[in-house]
């Protein structure tokens, strides 16, 4: 029986040698605009009318609630706009300085294994962070990518949450480059109060969005296959 996420990802048929579109948006993208775009693109992918797509963007400051979100974890409901989504997970923050990558992939040709897909997304983040000498780690009891700090403390540096429709994924991952970390105090991030949140800059690394994007694109193809087409 396969138990660890590493084994799940290794044994899954996630890698597909087909072209994947890649879009990078400048400026801040409104969440409702992004969500509408994802719904439309996922439907086109499912019907065979569009290529798979990964979309790099930043949002204005906001909170999103996944399907497991509890109202008690929204500590300051009037601070930023709150969007209720159909993705998995609980509350999270998005805002300037955080790289969001929405991942619209067709799992019907990538093994139809949701656990393996989540493990592959985590591996994508971890492999990318390692290029910047950041050791990101999984935790079996909580989704996301974590880094160890002093005195046994752990902080979350990246989050993920996905939704599937007709086996096409949307939503995706977020990595903290240089967001305002205090903004996470308005929620209990992912329902976890006993650990903190960090970023690449908070760890003392002057990484830019462009730096991170280049690494993410390279590591994406090594895990998910294919060739990225900038659109």
Answer for the pair 137, 148: CB distance below 8 angstroms, yes or no: yes
Task: Identify the active-site residue in 100, 119, 175, 190.
Answer: 190
Nearest to 165 by CA among 104, 90, 91, 101: 104
Helices 209-224 and 114-131, packing angle to 10 deg:
140
The residue whose two tokens read 């086109």 is 44
190 given a catalytic annotation: yes
Strand partners, 173: 101, 160
Distance CA 90, CA 67 (A): 7
User: Could you list the active site residues?
Assistant: 190
């Amino acid at each position: 029986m396969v138990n660890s996420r590493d084994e799940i990802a290794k044994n899954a048929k996630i890698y597909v040698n087909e072209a994947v579109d890649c879009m990078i948006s400048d400026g801040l993208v409104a969440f409702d605009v992004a969500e509408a775009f994802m719904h439309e693109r996922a439907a086109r992918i499912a019907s065979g009318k569009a290529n798979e797509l990964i979309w790099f963007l930043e949002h204005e400051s906001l909170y999103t609630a996944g399907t497991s979100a509890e109202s008690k974890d929204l500590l300051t409901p009037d601070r930023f706009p709150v969007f209720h989504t159909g993705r998995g997970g609980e509350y999270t923050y998005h805002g300037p300085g955080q790289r969001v990558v929405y991942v619209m992939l067709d799992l019907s040709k990538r093994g139809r294994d949701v656990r393996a897909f989540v493990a592959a997304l985590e591996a994508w983040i971890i492999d990318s962070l390692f290029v910047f000498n950041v050791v990101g780690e999984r935790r079996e009891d909580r989704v996301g990518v974590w880094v160890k700090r002093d005195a046994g403390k752990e902080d979350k540096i990246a989050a993920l949450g996905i939704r599937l429709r007709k086996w096409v994924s949307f939503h995706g991952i977020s990595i903290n480059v240089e967001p305002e970390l205090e903004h996470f105090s308005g929620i209990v991030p992912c329902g976890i109060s006993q650990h903190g949140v960090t970023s690449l800059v908070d760890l003392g690394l002057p990484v830019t969005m462009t730096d991170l994007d280049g690494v993410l694109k390279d590591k994406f193809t090594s895990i998910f296959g294919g060739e990225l087409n900038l659109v």
